[in-house]
Amino acid sequence: MCSLIALQIREMGKNDKRALPEDVLVKISIFKDNWPMLRNNLRIRERKEKVLHEISDDILREARKIKEEAVEKLEENIEKLRRALESRGAELKIAKDGLEASRMVLKLCKEHNVKLVVKSKSLTTEEIELNRLLESEGVEVIETDLGERIVQLAGQRPSHILGPAFHMTRNEVAEVFSRYYGRTVPPDPHQIVLEVRREFREKYQKAGMAVTGANFIIAENGATVLVTNEGNDRLALAFAPIHVVIAGVEKIVSSTTDVLKILKILPRNATGQRLSSYVSFHIPMMNTYPRDDAAAPRKTIYILIDNGRLQARQDKEIKEILYCIRCASCLQVCPPYNIVGGHVFGYIYSGPMGIAWTMIAHGLDKTVFAQLCNTCGLCREACPLDIDLPYLNSIVKERYGKKYGYPSINKSLKKYESLITLASRAPSLSSKLLNSSFVRKSIEKFIGIDSRRPLPRLAEKNLGEIFTEIGSAEKGSIALFTEALIYYVYPDWAIKAAKILSALGYRVIIPSLKSSGMPLIQYGFLDEAREIAQYNVENLYDLIDKGYKVVSLEPTAQECLTNYYPKLLHGEKSRKVAENSYGYFEFLKMIGWREVTRVLKNLEGLYVTYHLPCHSKTRDGSIVVKEFLEALGAKVYFKRIGCCGLAGTWGMKKDGHGYDISVEIGRYLVGEYEKLGGEFIVTECSACLFQFQHLSTLPSRHPLQMIQLISSE
């Protein structure tokens, strides 16, 4: 079984773009009902919940500022580092790419007759594929970090930047070592560690070179900082007469003080520890332990790699990816990554951060896997340095599409608003046709919507046909932004929302707008998304000038107004629209729950499970729909798990493009929700409701549907 998986994984991620959906389906078939990546990352997230609250927003902002300044001062810091190293007898080399860096190491091996190299904390050497070159020249390379050693012996690449073998079971790991040692190694982690430890002690003493990476390199004194839970870097450096540090140029920071500040963040976000088991500051030219009864000074060489980083530093659209501290928080929360793992959702670097890093280090043509990003936005929320990974990934998709062509399925689904508008002209006929298996198979073939995905029934009349405005402006005026699905499928939700606002003293209108354009952003059609953003912003800006507030019923619409539109347009108008836009339930909270509950009937005795949509955010960080339901007397069960998996049209795509991953994400989530005790699953996102209606045995409702059933009007 293990050898079969190894063969499959070696082939995955190295094929052309046509192979991606097939890779997805193979991986799902291997992981189905097991989800090793998800389960490992959930364990880390549970630990993190206990310690992340200890980090203040001020500390996070300061850490980002440190990285920003380090990138800005890169040339200055490189020269400081060079002087610090030279003062200690060490060398600094700059390699323009991975091949040059690998050849530098090989040259050192030949000059010093090195036949055995031990490595630790060496993700960057994976980037440059150092092992391949050294081994081709007869140099034995031993990965001493256990996870790296496992995948090295299995002939695989790491599937996770912190847990390289997260994708493997203990039985598979035991099989790898049994084949390697030529005897049975039991599937017991303790026994496996003892076997490896015995081998490594000998290797450490015989190695002619130790190669390490670096979490940070301190410009002022030349120290490398390594954050680990195994401490193998210390053993590797105890005996090796040559130490080679291989790291990207972005790892340099100015001072020890800067490192200590970031260390408050890194272990907590990486593994849920306040401090990892080993934090090592290695100063160049410390002596090795005695060999042949004599201690010897260690030769130290730092090889800093450009490999696209300096060009990225000049690229305003993607520059902030250089602030990444490799904590893997984005991988822990990414729904598609947690289903298929890094061998499919990745190249060398994997997960959300891996998309931009792959473009930088390995080229745009290697970023096919970016299509697996569903733009849920959880990675940005999880990133301690507030790197906008979803937007960066959309930029990569745009660049890939313009150079190599967009996937045809994405080109079809970007027209979703036109398709739903066309269908709404004859809603009864359209709904009838959509129940036909022949029509659904035709749609699957020519548009790309998986025939297994249920589609909603169109309303007999759209919102524009049955509503214009309501209420007086006693307390203010509201422009209600509804999105296409509410406009054409659930217009009664919008009417209910407007009536509640009217009862609270507000005049409500439905302005003439296009849908938010999220699928265009999601698939990298940013020029077209910009046109929609411009249209919507111009119309809303005029209303805001007249005293209106913008209130969005769909969380994704609010995310576009407040996050994506300002990035797409870079103007004063988009900024002002963002400042005056609110989610519907966020706005109700601003009015005050006492006022709101005055016009609605009590929900006492109702037990519900609440799902927080990915794009549902508030200025104060509160979970407003939960508060809303509790204010009305409902008992609300809530567990923060993550994305429902649908992500709009992404989870409708056929043949491994989205639907199959989407269902696996949703199945796990629904399974957890059905254990909590609610009579309903409640969420304010229409796409999430589709997913739950498709997968859950519990009824699913929008909060406004709950009110509709029991409120007075």
Helix (H, G, I), strand (E, B) or coil at 226: strand
Answer for the pair 179, 244: CB distance below 8 angstroms, yes or no: no
- Poorest-confidence range of 169-183, 293-307, 627-641? 293-307
Give the mean pLDDT of 181-187. 93
Dump pLDDT digits (tens) for 109-119: 999 999 999 99
Tell me, what's the pLDDT at 556? 96
As a whole number, mean pLDDT of residues 563-571 equals 96
First to last CA, the chain: 62
pLDDT for the residue 13: 42
What's the confidence (pLDDT) of residue 5?
A: 46
Q: What is the pLDDT of residue 15?
A: 43
| Maximum C-alpha span of the chain | 92
Distances (CA, A) of 597 to 475, 499, 589, 603, 713: 17, 14, 11, 10, 13
Distance CA 260, CA 567 (A): 32
* Contact by Cβ (8 Å): 260, 216: no
Domain 67-309 part of CATH 3.30.420.40 = no
**Residue that has been written with the tokens 């209910």 in this structure:** 496
Q: Please tell me the predicted confidence (pLDDT) of residue 9.
A: 43
Helices (H), 366-436: 378-382, 389-404, 408-413, 416-424, 427-433
- pLDDT tens across 309-344, in order? 999 999 999 999 999 999 999 999 999 999 999 999
Q: Is the pLDDT of residue 145 over 70?
A: yes
Confidence of residue 655 (pLDDT cuts 50, 70, 90): confident
pLDDT at position 6 is: 43
Q: Where are the beta strands (DSSP E) in 34-101?
A: 91-95
pLDDT of residue 295: 63
Q: Closest Cα to residue 336, out of 651, 8, 709, 685?
A: 651
- Looking at per-residue pLDDT, the higher value among 625 and 286 belongs to 625
Residue with tokens 């040059």: 100
List C-alpha distances in Å: 268 to 108, 264, 481.
37, 7, 39
Q: What is the mean pLDDT of the chain?
A: 92
Measured in whole angstroms, how far is the alpha carbon of residue 133 from the centre of its chain? 32
d(CA 217, CA 224): 5
Residue with tokens 């019923």: 553
The 10 Å Cβ neighbour count of residue 599 is 17
Identify the band that residue 290 occupies on the pLDDT scale cut at 50, 70 and 90: low
Tokens of 3: 């050898």
Q: What is the pTM of this model?
A: 0.93
pLDDT at 286: 67
pLDDT at 17: 44
Give the list of residues 6+ apart from residue 291 with CB closer than 8 angstroms, or none: 239, 241
Long-range contact pairs involving 457-460 (C-beta distance under 8 Å, separation at least 24): 457/431, 457/489, 458/420, 458/423, 458/424, 458/427, 458/430, 458/431, 458/488, 458/489, 459/427, 459/488, 459/489, 459/490, 459/491, 459/492, 460/427, 460/428
Please determine, for residue 211, whether its predicted confidence score (pLDDT) is greater than 60: yes
pLDDT at 634: 95
With 0-12 CB in 10 A as exposed, 13-18 as middle and 19+ as buried, what is 422? exposed
Between residues 674 and 709, which one has the greater pLDDT? 674
Tell me if domain 67-309 and domain 600-713 are identical in fold: yes
pLDDT mean over 560-589: 97
Does residue 304 carry a pLDDT above 60?
A: yes
Each domain of the chain, given as residue ranges in start order, spans 67-309, 459-591, 600-713
Q: What local confidence, expressed as pLDDT, does residue 416 receive?
A: 83
Q: Could you give the percent of the chain with pLDDT greater than 70?
A: 95
Q: Which fold has domain 600-713?
A: Rossmann fold (3.40.50)
Q: Provide the H-helix boundaries in 88-231.
A: 98-111, 123-128, 130-136, 146-154, 170-181, 189-206
Residues 6 or more apart whose CB falls under 8 angstroms from that of 606 comprise 633, 634, 635, 679, 680, 706
Question: Is the pLDDT at 533 greater than 60, yes or no?
Answer: yes
Burial (CB count within 10 angstroms: exposed 0-12, middle 13-18, buried 19+), residue 474: exposed
- Tell me the pLDDT tens digit for each residue of 484-528: 899 999 999 999 999 999 999 999 999 989 999 999 999 999 999
List Cβ neighbours of 517 (8 Å cut-off, separation of 6 or more): 528, 529, 532, 533, 536, 560
Specify the pLDDT at position 293. Answer: 61
Cα–Cα dist 281/290, whole Å: 21
**Interval 54-88: pLDDT, tens:** 999 999 999 999 999 999 999 999 999 999 999 99
User: Which one-letter amino acid corresponds to residue 620?
Assistant: D
Spatial separation of the C-alpha atoms in residues 363 and 357, rounded to whole Å: 9
> Which distant-in-sequence residues (6+ apart) come within 8 Å of 156 by Cβ?
6, 9, 10, 343
What average pLDDT does range 447-463 have in this prediction?
92
**Three-state DSSP class for residue 229:** coil
**Which amino acid is residue 154, in one-letter code?**
A
Which pLDDT score is estimated for 245? Answer: 97
Q: Would you state the pLDDT for residue 597?
A: 93
What pLDDT score was predicted for residue 422?
86
Q: Quote the pLDDT of residue 4.
A: 39
Buried b (16+ CB within 10 A) or exposed e, 601-619: eebeebebbbbbbbbbbbe
